[in-house]
A = this chain, B = another copy of it.
Amino acid sequence: MMEKYKVIFLPDKTEVTVDAGISILQAAGEAGVELDGPCGGKGTCGKCRVRVMQENGGFEWALACRTQIERDMTVEIPQLEVSLHRKNDLTLSSFNIRPDAGVTKKVITVSVPSLENQHPDAGRLLDALGADASKIKLEALRSLPKAVRKKKGLVTAVVSDQEVLAVEPEDTTDKLYGVAVDIGTTTVVAALMNLLDGETMAIASASNPQSTFGADVIARIEHAMQSTGLDQLNRRVIQAINRLIGKLAKDMEISPKEIYQMTVVGNTTMSHLFLKTDPTYLASSPFIPVVSAPVQVEAKELGIAISPHAPVWVAPNIAGYVGGDTVGVIMSTEVYRRQGTFLAIDIGTNGEIVLAHHGQMISCSTAAGPAFEGAQIKFGMRAANGAIERVVINDDVELKVIGHTPVRGICGSGLMDAVAEMVRVGIIQPHGRLVSREEAGHLSLNLQERLGSDEAGMYFVLAFPQEAQGEAVVLTQKDIRELQLAKAAIRAGIQVLLEQAGLNYEDIDEVLLAGAFGSYINKFSALGIGLLPPISPDKIVSVGNAAGAGARKALISQEIRKEAETIARKVTHLELSCRLDFQDRFVNSLGF
C-alpha cells in the first residue's frame, strides 16, 4: 500500500490524507481548498505561494505546485489582504439625505404566557407589534423562544416590509447597521454604515480574488463558461465580501449578524457573477444581460454572512456594459436631477460615459482597453510603489514616483502625463509618431539623448538604469499607439453622445471623472492628449469612488433605491459596436 500523509490546510483546518509524492496544490484540490494555480504547475506565476509550518513553530514559504508531500504537513493559505479605514481616517462628506433604510427596529414587550394565555410566541410577538408587522421569517421564528424569555419579554424586532427579519433580546434600537459594497473588476470595497444617522463607520477594500481567472470582464465571462467556472467566480467574490464584512464588524466591535441591509453596485458582469446568473450572453453580440432590473434577495440565498433574511439589493444595470456601478455614479453625482449639461466618465478597461442634459440621460460604453490601467504597456504597472505617476518635461524629464524607491514602471496617470508632455514639446508628432534623433533638432540635448531605437522600434527613456532597478524604463512607439487607441475610444464615445443629444462640447457645464483612475488624472494631460474635448480645465472635477458612494446612498435610503430603478430605465443606451458614426469619430480622435 502506498505511503499516505495527512495535510492540514489553515486557516480553515481542512484535513486531507493523500498519497506521498503529490504536490501541495494537488492535495489542496483533493481537500476542496481553493488555491490558485493559473500557470498550471509550471512554477512561473507564483500565485500558489503558501506557508509550510515548521516543527519549531516557524514557517517557510513554498510554491504549492512545486512542493511534494513527503511527510504530514500543516500548510497555511495566505488570505486576502484587506485594507481598512475607520471613519476618522475617511474624508467622506455626509450625504444630505434623511436616513430611511427600509429596515427598522421596534422595541416591544411580549406578554408572558400562562395557562390562561397559551398563545404561541409568534402570536404574542405580532400582537405586541400591532400594525408594524404581519409576518415572521423562519430564522426569526427560530431565535424567538430564547429571545422572549431572556428579559421578561423585552425584545427588539427587526422589521422590513411588514415582516420580522430577526428578533434580538432586550432593547437594541440604538444600533442598526448596513453594508454597501462596490464590486469592481479589480477591487472590492465594502462600507459599514450606521443606518440610524446615515454615517459611514468604516470602509474596507481588497483585491477582487476573481482576478486570478483573468484581469478583465471578458476573461471572467470566458471562465464562467467553463464547467464549474461560474460557481468558482461566484464563490470567490462572496468569500471576499464576507471577509471584508468580517473585518469591518470585528474592527467596529459588532457582530456581522447585526447587519440587516446590504446594497451592491458593480458592472453588469460583476453583478451577474455576484448573483451567480450566467454572464455568457454578455460576451458576444447582441450583449444580453440575464437581468437589468434591481434584484432583491435575502443574504442567505447568496451565502452572505450577515443576518440571514437581510435584504440584499443589487443595483439595476443599464446595459450589458453599463452596469449598476454607473447607476451608482449617477445617483451619487445627482446628474439625473441637476439642471445643466454633465458628462460623467468612469475610465477603466471599459470607459462608461453618461451625458446628462437637464435630467435627460444617454450612455455608452467604449472598449478603451487596459492601457490606462498600465496593462499592454511595456513598463506599465498599477499605481504602486516605484510607479511614475507624474511627468513634466521642460529641458529634461522630471518624474514623480510613488514611494521612496527606484523607478519600476509607469502607471496610467504617469503614462498620460508623459504622452501629453511629449506631444507638447514635440517628441511625439501629431499623428503619434516618435521623432527620430535626426528629426529632434528642436529639442534640448538632454531630451535628444533619451531617444533611441532597437529591433522593436523607437523608444523614449523616462528613467535611466541608475534611477531605475538597473534597467532603463522607456516608453515605446507601441505604448503610444496603445494609448492612442484607448483615448480615441473614450473621446469618440463622448463625441457620439454629444451629437446624439444635439449638443457640442461648449455646452458642457461639468465633466465628472469617477473611479480610482479618474481621481488621479492630471486634467491638463487629459486635455493635452485629447482624451477630453477642449473645455476649460475648471470644468473638470474628480469625484472619487462615485459608484461606491452611490451604493452607500442607496443603503441608507429606500427612496434612492426606488430612484435608481427609474434612473436605470430612463437612461437611453447607445450600443456603439455597430455604429458607423462611432467608427468615424474614433479614427478622427486618434491623433493629438
Contacts and interface: CB of A to CB of B under 8 A. Distances in A.
A358 interface: no
Interface in A289-307: 289-293, 295, 297, 300-301
A319 B119 CA distance: 8
A289 B120 contact: yes
B4 A121 contact: no
A320 B121 CA distance: 11
A287 B121 contact: no
Nearest to A143: B278
B142 A277 contact: yes
A276 B142 contact: yes
A275 interface: yes
B121 A288 contact: yes
Given A17-B4, A145-B280, A280-B145, A293 B122 contact: yes
A114 interface: yes
A324 to B, nearest CB: 13
Contacts of A278: 142, 145-146
Contacts of A17: 4, 6, 17
Interface in A16-57: 17
B136 A291 contact: yes
Q: Which of A17, A320, A578 has the most CB atoms of chain B within a 10 A radius of its CB?
A: A17
Contacts of A384: none
B6 A121 contact: no
A138 B271 CA distance: 13
A278 B142 CA distance: 6
Nearest to A308: B301
B138 A301 contact: yes
A123 interface: yes
B118 A290 contact: no
A225 to B, nearest CB: 11
Interface in A99-147: 113-115, 117-123, 136, 138, 141-142, 144-146
A292 B113 CA distance: 14
A281 interface: yes
Contacts of A575: 115, 118
B118 A286 contact: yes
A94 interface: no
A390 to B, nearest CB: 41
B118 A291 contact: no
A123 B319 CA distance: 12
A363 to B, nearest CB: 12
How many copies make up the complex?
Answer: 2
Nearest to A301: B138
Contacts of A290: 120-122, 141, 144-145
Q: Which of A1, A4, A118, A287 has the most CB atoms of chain B within a 10 A radius of its CB?
A: A118
A573 B118 contact: yes
Contact of A120 (B4, B138, B292, B300): B292
Interface in A308-366: 317, 319-320
Contacts of A297: 138
Interface residues of A, number: 49
Contacts of A145: 277-278, 280-281, 288, 290
A91 interface: no
A136 B291 CA distance: 10
Nearest to A279: B145
Nearest to A145: B278
A277 B143 CA distance: 8
A93 interface: no
A497 to B, nearest CB: 17
A6 B278 CA distance: 39
Nearest to A115: B286
A181 to B, nearest CB: 17
Contact of A277 (B141, B291, B317, B320): B141
Q: Which of A17, A120, A277 has the most CB atoms of chain B within a 10 A radius of its CB?
A: A120
A118 B276 contact: no
A276 B275 CA distance: 27
Contacts of A577: 115
Contacts of A287: 118
A71 to B, nearest CB: 10
A4 B5 CA distance: 10
Q: Which of A122, A138, A280, A287 has the most CB atoms of chain B within a 10 A radius of its CB?
A: A138
Contacts of A88: none
A285 interface: yes
Nearest to A144: B290
Nearest to A278: B145
Given A118-B287, A120-B291, 17 more contacts: A4-B4, A114-B286, A115-B285, A115-B286, A118-B320, A120-B317, A121-B288, A122-B293, A123-B292, A123-B293, A141-B290, A142-B277, A144-B290, A145-B277, A145-B280, A145-B281, A145-B290
23 contacts: A4-B6, A113-B286, A115-B285, A115-B577, A118-B287, A118-B319, A119-B288, A120-B288, A121-B288, A121-B289, A121-B290, A122-B291, A123-B292, A138-B275, A138-B295, A138-B297, A141-B295, A142-B275, A142-B276, A142-B277, A145-B281, A146-B278, A300-B301
